[in-house]
Amino acid sequence: MKRIICLIMLLGILSGCASSQVWYTKIDASRGQENQDQGVFDFSGSGNLKYSYTLLCINEKGEEKEITFGSDTTLDDGTILALE
């Protein structure tokens, strides 16, 4: 029984240590779009995000990827974001 408890605790600790993928981007305000239907993005489940951005993002390994994300407000040009 002790082995099972230790195994469960170890799996819980290891799952908490699993690194998530972080992507970095610099806001280009000219690439932002106002969503006319207000329903394109809803990550929280409680409301719609008014603006969307599709920008080139880079991870710590130097890999590049275009990611689309939303915001309730316009984001300032040149702002650096870390997206998880």
Give pLDDT tens digits for 6-54: 456 555 555 555 556 899 999 988 888 877 655 555 554 445 677 888 8
> How remote is the C-alpha of 81 from its chain's centroid?
9
Spatial distance between the Cα atoms of 48 and 35, rounded to a whole number of angstroms: 9
Spatial distance between the Cα atoms of 80 and 24, rounded to a whole number of angstroms: 7
Predicted TM-score of the model (pTM) = 0.62
